[in-house]
Amino acid sequence: MEYIRTPKVENVRFLYRYPTVSNSSSTGTLYLTATHLIFVDPGLKRETWILHSLIASVEKLPITTIGSQLLMRCKHFLCITFVIPKEKEAHDIYQSLIQLSQPSRIEQLYCFHYTASNEFFTIENGWNKISIEQEFQRMGCPNNNWKLSTLNKNYELCKTYPRCLFLPNSADDYIIRGSAKFRSKSRLPVLSYLYTNKASICRCAQPLSGFNARCIEDEKLLDHIRRTNPKSPLLYVVDTRPRINAMVNKAQGKGYENEVYYENIKFHFFGIENIHVMRGSLQKLIDACELRTPSMNSFLTGVEGSGWLRHVKSILETSVFIANAVHNGISIVIHCSDGWDRTAQTCSIASIILDPFYRTIDGFQTLIEKDWLAFGHKFNDRCGHINGDNREMAPVFTQFLDVIWQIMQQNPCAFEFNERFLISINDFVYNVQFGTFLCNCERERNELRLSKRTFSVWAYLDAHRMEYINPLYQQMDSMLTVSVAPQFIKFWRGLYNRFETGVHPRDFLEDILRAKYHHIDQLRKHITFLEKYLEQHQKPKENGQTKFRPLGSIDLDEIDRPLKVVEQCMQRLEMQHEQNLKDQLSNKNCNELEMEKCSVVDDDDETNENNRIFSNQSPIPRPNSLKLENNNNNQDVLINDEHEPKDCLSLPMDQVIQDCSIISLNWQSFQNLKNCTCSTPLEPYSTRLHCFACGHIFCIRCIDKRCNIPCHEPISLSKPVCRNCFIRLTKSNSIDA
């Protein structure tokens, strides 16, 4: 708080990048807190929250007649301009943002202050979800060819590698240590991925070969890697750098392997540029996106001049080559300079092309944990989490996500997750809301005890999994077919122009399909419950025929609309309920002794069983009657009543009818939807969720509750509901109970 000189400024103008007739600017109040910059426009009921850690740069523009302008660019591609009336207030805000956006100590980052007070997970969730050793066991390691080495259990062999390293079974400790000394940063060749045909992908850093240096141990280790794959006599060594860059490194005592010393090895160079070129390329792409009055020619020229799509194509081309070689039974060793940027990109992308597990939500999280976090991508330096050398910053991970998006465009049914999932991960990498993407290697994260002091991003993504489901996903076990033709490389508008409201479609097809997917799934569960409930509670006639025709006999072709199935179920429930009321009235004059006898009759007597179930003397609590208990994070945690029946099909019929009246069969459409019920504007790519009870669409703030949805089979557990439905479903008098 010592950096905040002016916490509140009124009459601040927010200038839109693409002004229209209805919104050229808005006026409101600017707030500065310890973690966020907040702009509130009371007229439009619009709030803009920006984490200080997301601010990339703040520029103070020349004073104009309307005030001092502050141009702020963010790491997640938001560019905004504030006009502050008074020069002193503008200067104070400028100085405060410079200091708050560039913390000098890692403990000042937002993840150490984030409490997840409105979420449904704890600080323990997510950290132990992924085990690198278990992931290698899924691949079949250890086996006769690969062993788990303990040489790095205390990070003595390589400080930036994980404790868990898999190496050739035939390589002894002397060879392993010798190879580590010959590789840059001691990053020796280790296993990254093992394919089903025994071909492998190994990763390392460049050798310290210079012009004529050699290392017998390193040569033997690569030969041992080659021998782990008996199906191929060759081993490919892929250097992801341009050849000229590798030759320059030779003059510095590094370089690449000498083919004279390494037998049965074939070398391949690819033209992926270094971090400095990529950083400049992204800046040129952002400049093209921020043109004030872009024309077709100027925008396309700017995108082409940035070279960004050319770099994306180069990474994809290298990864496809690696995947094809491994699929054909040839093992590969990959390196760049130090093995934590281009090597991480190509290893992980090739694995996604080869392995369908990595195309699932859990698999993609495992891939990032293995190839990026465990093997030491420098997130602190590349993302600029703390104040340091700006020359170390580079959009390496963003580029990786861009390539994944390119593959998703060619294979829209192959991935379990959607575009929003990739964008969310990119945001979490830079905003440091969670401790997952903090530090440069596994050792540093363990030293800071991040799993005890911060929340895990995997817990958040799992809690919001339904927002990231791809409704077109079809599980397949084959390798992906990916084209690297220039016509298939696209500009990712959803990421780089995400905040430009004028360049997006009115309704996103992905949002519509996802909503329909969940809606149909809920209707199926509702129909299944009603079918089973009717079947269980129908009374047989004396001649053995049922009173009502079973729902399963309904011919769907005769129904003019799908919701009529549910409507017919409701009509039958009401008819059954009326019949039960008549039965209860006819038995009302029974004496107390007869009632006691009825209560102990054997369960095989169906008539007496129904009398017991529907008796008003001993009502059975509804399965959705929940206790709310505040945990340490002040979250609403749902606790089942100890007397709650496990079988919801045994509920009284009047209770079922009451519960069904709460659930809406029709869900609100996204068409022409501009604002939430709280008047919050629903911007493109903002989170818009349906309430699983009433079916209306709400913003993320208004649908921050979870509870079970009754009258579904199987019961829908912990679904998002609005606050009004939360009160009705849980029988609570307050949403904060």
Q: So where are the chain's domains?
A: 8-102, 132-504, 513-586+619-730
Average pLDDT over residues 7-27: 75
| Top-confidence residue, 672 or 617 | 672
The pLDDT of residue 164: 93
Q: Give the pLDDT band of residue 465 (cuts 50, 70, 90).
A: very high
The pLDDT of residue 431: 93
Query: CA-CA distance, 267 to 258, in Å (whole number)?
Result: 9
Say if residue 609's pLDDT is above 60.
no
The pLDDT of residue 651: 78
Class of domain 8-102 as given by CATH: mainly beta
Average pLDDT over residues 446-451: 95
Q: Which two tokens stand for residue 250?
A: 């030779």
Q: Is 489 annotated among the ligand-binding residues?
A: no
Does the CA dihedral 310-316-320-321 come out positive or negative?
positive
The pLDDT of residue 445: 96
570 touches 533 (CB < 8 A): no
| Top-confidence residue, 676 or 167 | 167
**Annotated active-site residue in 336, 347, 441, 707:** 336
Average pLDDT over residues 98-118: 92
The pLDDT of residue 28: 93
Q: Is 337 annotated among the ligand-binding residues?
A: yes
Average pLDDT over residues 702-717: 83
Within 385-508, where are the H helices?
A: 396-410, 419-431, 442-447, 450-453, 457-463, 493-496
Parallel, antiparallel or unpaired: strands 36-41 and 25-32: antiparallel
- pLDDT > 70: percent of the chain: 82
Q: Is 458 annotated among the ligand-binding residues?
A: no
| Top-confidence residue, 720 or 736 | 720
Q: Which two tokens stand for residue 572?
A: 């039958």
Q: Is 223 annotated among the ligand-binding residues?
A: no
Q: Is 672 annotated among the ligand-binding residues?
A: no
Q: Give the pLDDT band of residue 20 (cuts 50, 70, 90).
A: very low
Residues 6+ apart with CB under 8 A from 2: none
Q: How far is CA 680 from CA 17, 34, 43, 494, 508, in A?
A: 20, 24, 11, 21, 19
Q: Is 338 annotated among the ligand-binding residues?
A: yes
Whether residue 336 lies in the annotated active site: yes
| Top-confidence residue, 146 or 658 | 146
- Residue 59's H or E segment, with its range, is strand 55-60
Q: State which fold the 132-504 domain adopts.
A: Protein-Tyrosine Phosphatase; Chain A (3.90.190)
Amino acid at 608: N
Query: CA-CA distance, 192 to 352, in Å (whole number)?
Result: 12
Q: State which fold the 513-586+619-730 domain adopts.
A: Herpes Virus-1 (3.30.40)
Q: Which two tokens stand for residue 303?
A: 């995108």
The pLDDT of residue 567: 66
Q: Give the pLDDT band of residue 521 (cuts 50, 70, 90).
A: confident
One DSSP character per residue, 323-390 reads HHHHHTT-EEEEE-SSSSSHHHHHHHHHHHHH-GGGGSHHHHHHHHIIIIIITT--HHHHHT-SS--G
Q: Is 253 annotated among the ligand-binding residues?
A: no
Q: Is 339 annotated among the ligand-binding residues?
A: yes
The residue among 66, 12, 67, 18 whose CA lies nearest residue 42 is: 12
Query: CA-CA distance, 677 to 697, in Å (whole number)?
Result: 8
343 touches 325 (CB < 8 A): no
The pLDDT of residue 684: 67
Average pLDDT over residues 51-64: 92
Q: How far is CA 630 from CA 362, 455, 639, 726, 737, in A?
A: 29, 19, 10, 16, 8
Tell me the pLDDT tens digit for each residue of 533-559: 888 777 554 455 544 444 444 444 444
Average pLDDT over residues 616-632: 35
Q: What is the DSSP letter of 546?
A: B
Say if residue 72's pLDDT is above 80.
yes
Average pLDDT over residues 69-81: 92
Say if residue 608's pLDDT is above 50.
no
* CA-CA-CA-CA dihedral for 128, 341, 180, 353, to nearest 10: 70
Say if residue 644's pLDDT is above 90.
no
Q: How far is CA 509 from CA 39, 408, 418, 594, in A?
A: 30, 15, 12, 63
Say if residue 633's pLDDT is above 50.
no
Residues in the chain: 737
Say if residue 292's pLDDT is above 90.
no
Least trusted range by pLDDT, from 249-253, 533-537, 626-630: 626-630
The pLDDT of residue 312: 97
Q: Which of 97-106, 181-190, 607-616 has the highest mean pLDDT?
A: 181-190
Say if residue 112's pLDDT is above 70.
yes
The pLDDT of residue 162: 96
Tell me the pLDDT tens digit for each residue of 175-208: 999 999 999 999 999 999 999 999 999 999 999 9
Q: Nearest 5°: phi and psi at 236?
A: -90, 135
The residue among 71, 574, 529, 593 whose CA lies nearest residue 286 is: 71
Tell me the pLDDT tens digit for each residue of 674-706: 888 887 777 766 788 899 989 999 988 888 888
The pLDDT of residue 508: 74
| Top-confidence residue, 705 or 358 | 358
Say if residue 302's pLDDT is above 60.
yes
Query: CA-CA distance, 131 to 136, in Å (whole number)?
Result: 9
The pLDDT of residue 687: 81
Cα angle for residues 6, 10, 13 (degrees, 5° grid): 115
Q: Give the pLDDT band of residue 429 (cuts 50, 70, 90).
A: very high
| Top-confidence residue, 671 or 250 | 250
The pLDDT of residue 416: 96
